A and B are shown apart, each in its own frame.
Chain A
Amino acid sequence: MRDSAIPAPVVDLDRVVVTYGGGLFGRGGFQAVKAISLQIAPGQTVGLVGESGSGKTTLGRVCLGLQPLSSGTMRFCGEAFGALRQRRGQLSVVLQHPEWALNPRLRCGRSVEEPLVILGMPAKERRGRVAAMLENVGLDAGFAERFPGQLSGGQRQRVAIARALITEPRFIVFDEAVSALDVSVQAQVLNLIRELQDRHGFGALFISHDLAATRYISHRIAVMYQGEFVEVAEAARFYGTPEHPYSRKLMATIE
């Protein structure tokens, strides 16, 4: 649980609906996300918990601009989202398995550097940024020369986080980012995310099925059930007794 103040949101969802499949006019489709409104402020983490099929990942895709909306609006830093191309370097994602984010045939330094290449940064500047970012995530510069296969799970996730942060994005989605890690490594990575957020001030959506990790890292938590938020509350609430019965059921799994 962390304290929060609320300036203009990085991500602003207003009654967003996402329907999969269905015929003309969306009839008979499956509503994965039902009229959800959510604001995420800079420097703030919103935790998103819920069981599989509740629409967590779809909502994460919406926040990244990867999912066309069936209705509702999404604003990014106060403006219309526009084309994905315009948002280069402003958004990022860290996935459950770092193996999915890192090319096994590229040295880690190269993987971290790639987003900057796409942004067109000169090579000299890039090298310095990569070294600084690796240090930032607690890896010494030697790791730039190694391949992902030569690292442990926790180290690989650090490289993935470095790659996600290298363009200094304003918003990052963490989709089950610590679920595949060991308990002791989980704590390291969670602390790392908290420290980096304090330093860089990005807004974040932390998607997880693990309420214990989520409430540790989040300022606010949204509990999702069948495409709807059943409860949105300050993370502190989830150290006591949350309101909705479904939230309480989730709480029971970590007691």
Chain B
Amino acid sequence: MNNIVSCEDLVITYQSSNGPVRALDGVDLTIAEGETLAIVGESGSGKSTLGMAMGRLLPSEAGREAGRLEVDGMPVFDMARDDLRRLRRDTLGFVFQNPMVALDPTMRIGRQMQRAMGRRARAEDIHALLERGELDDPERVANSFPHQLSGGMAQRVVVAMAIARSPRLLIADEPTASLDASIQDKVIGTLCRLRKESGASLVILSHDVHMIARHADRVAVMYGGRIVEQGTTARVLGAPVHPYTRALLKAAAGHEKPGEWLTPIPGTPPLLTGRCAACSFEPRCSVSRDICRSSRPKPRTVEEREVLCLLAGSEAERKEVAQ
């Protein structure tokens, strides 16, 4: 299988008034064609930066410091303006968290759809596309302004627009975080069905582990601007080996027994100003050793997944976990 995205040691830094903030601290990631990958992490872990980097949609204060990012074989950070436009238009489709921000409030849905589809799109085409997004009564929707739609309907419109030009890679940043629980799953279901029909790849950025467990083929867990664990969903969420992944699953409500307390992760995520010389999770880790403070972990394969932890898989660590 070919890779639609390949990313090597990508470093992205934001220049702020308080000095540089390193959002990505060396990301290695590949996304195969036709797969659904979920990137999980807390806010500030760098997942949105990584998602936006795939379309070079980062704000002007963000710059690539090192590394390489290729989408569909094209170096995103070293390409001409026209090529970049073509890439964004024909290869990528984006779905953002809040549909009301993604849609233009002053324009009817039909006209916005037409802009996404190209000038030759006829009313029937627009209606057909809205129908593919599982909107009943597409005619009424096309004649509406965004504020006349519910959040779920508006997000379906955004999904329909994202697939308008049959992209090869769909990037969904917290696509359901602003929607009600009862429709979240349906909207994700629509997104996954459309992905399957078109054979595109899908990247979901989210912190909702329940949703990810149901829909993703592979999971990449992000922390401190690096991917600390990645592998198939069943391996990573079913039997996590990185202490952070374990802590994250323990903190999420849903798997506790009645009367049990959840275990929050102590401390706060790091704000990096430069290359992290040690394990970035060490200050919050419950099983850390001296070595974690002095050396930067390299990707290793442990139990059929790639992990960034000096201790994962070792005897001592296993004992600690068993306790």
Residues of A at under 8 Å CB distance from B? Answer: 1-3, 49-52, 152-153, 182-188, 190-191, 194, 209-213, 215-216, 235-236, 239, 249-250, 252-255
Contacts and interface: CB of A to CB of B under 8 A. Distances in A.
Given A190-B253, A210-B181, A254-B210, A184 B248 contact: yes
A254 B150 CA distance: 23
B248 A52 contact: no
A184 B42 contact: yes
Nearest to B256: A216
A252 B184 CA distance: 12
Interface stretch (B78-86, B235-243, B259-267): B259-267
19 contacts: A49-B181, A51-B182, A52-B151, A153-B43, A182-B42, A183-B207, A183-B248, A184-B264, A186-B252, A186-B253, A187-B251, A187-B253, A187-B262, A209-B182, A212-B253, A215-B253, A239-B257, A253-B185, A254-B210
B100 to A, nearest CB: 14
B118 interface: no
A49 B181 CA distance: 10
Interface on chain B toward A: helix, strand, loop, or mixed SS? loop
Interface on chain A toward B: helix, strand, loop, or mixed SS? helix
Nearest to A153: B43
A172 B268 CA distance: 28
Nearest to B244: A184
A190 B262 contact: yes
Nearest to A255: B210
B201 to A, nearest CB: 25
Interface of B: 42-43, 150-151, 180-185, 207-210, 247-248, 251-254, 256-259, 261-265, 268
Nearest to A49: B181
A204 to B, nearest CB: 17
B251 A253 contact: no
A243 B181 CA distance: 19
A158 to B, nearest CB: 12
Given A183-B42, A184-B251, 20 more contacts: A1-B258, A1-B259, A3-B259, A49-B181, A51-B183, A52-B150, A183-B207, A183-B209, A184-B42, A186-B251, A187-B262, A188-B264, A209-B182, A212-B253, A212-B254, A213-B253, A235-B258, A236-B258, A239-B258, A250-B182
Contacts of A182: 42-43, 207
B242 to A, nearest CB: 14
A74 B185 CA distance: 36
A182 B265 CA distance: 11
B182 A187 contact: no
Given A51-B183, A249-B182, A253-B181, A185 B264 contact: yes
Contacts of B258: 1, 235-236, 239
A212 B183 CA distance: 16
Contacts of A250: 181-182
Tell which of B181, B208, B247, B263 has the most Cβ of chain A within 10 Å: B181
